[in-house]
Amino acid sequence: MCGLTGGKYARVERERRFLLDRVPAPGSVIVARRITDRYVDGTRLRLRRAERLDTGECTYKLTQKLPAPPGTPGAVQGLITNLYLSEEEYAHLLAALPGPELTKTRLSVPPLGVDVFEGPLSGLVLAEAEFENAEDAETFVPPPGCIAELTTDQHFTGGQLARADREELREGLAEYGVALP
């Protein structure tokens, strides 16, 4: 893995991302969360608020993602470290840390997390699958309704999407033969 190993606090993140042609049927959804991410300017940090839509329970996290070195094979995205925050800590950091925000609804449809985007990214539906090991990642079969795998397409990472406008999204999707309304 090109010298990329987890440690006491960081873990190797293995995931594959897919472009879907539609939102999953409501009956297949186990949990739905509204997620707001702020990608902190000039850093590899993300501030997240995730609210369960059924209970209202919120989780707050500060996340650092260190990308895998170029040429790293497979689904390895890099190292990820999460720091869980109180609501007060989150509010303090939110007020202090500038950066673009991204809002989406994440639908848990095991083994996938399906993100349905809002605002200028409305109409975009992405799915992610996370893996404990390389073999599971390599043998994973893409979900029904998968238009394309986007695992290596940096245009569809959260940090890039937070900075994208409608026209940039339209151009990116056109590369996969998808037209936005």
Q: What integer pLDDT is reported at residue 1 of this predicted model?
A: 36
> What share of the chain in percent tops pLDDT 70?
96
Q: What integer pLDDT is reported at residue 4 of this predicted model?
A: 53
3-state secondary structure 50-105: EEECCCCCEEEEEEEEEECCCCCCCCEEEEEEEEEECHHHHHHHHHHCCCCEEEEE
Q: What integer pLDDT is reported at residue 67 of this predicted model?
A: 85
Q: What integer pLDDT is reported at residue 72 of this predicted model?
A: 78
DSSP H helix total and E strand total for the chain: 4, 9
pLDDT band at 10 (very low <50, low <70, confident <90, very high): confident
Q: Model confidence over 119-135: pLDDT tens digits?
A: 999 999 999 999 998 89
Q: What integer pLDDT is reported at residue 5 of this predicted model?
A: 59
pLDDT of 144 above 90: no
Q: What integer pLDDT is reported at residue 6 of this predicted model?
A: 59
Q: What integer pLDDT is reported at residue 2 of this predicted model?
A: 42
Q: Is the pTM higher than 0.85?
A: yes
Q: What integer pLDDT is reported at residue 86 of this predicted model?
A: 98
Tokens 């399906």 — which residue?
A: 114
Structure token digits, residue 55: 């209970």
What does the alpha-carbon distance between residue 8 and residue 41 come to, in Å, rounded to a whole number?
26
Number of neighbouring beta carbons within 10 Å of residue 135? 10
Mean pLDDT, rounded, of the chain = 92
Query: Degrees (nearest 5) of the Cα angle 89, 92, 94?
Result: 105
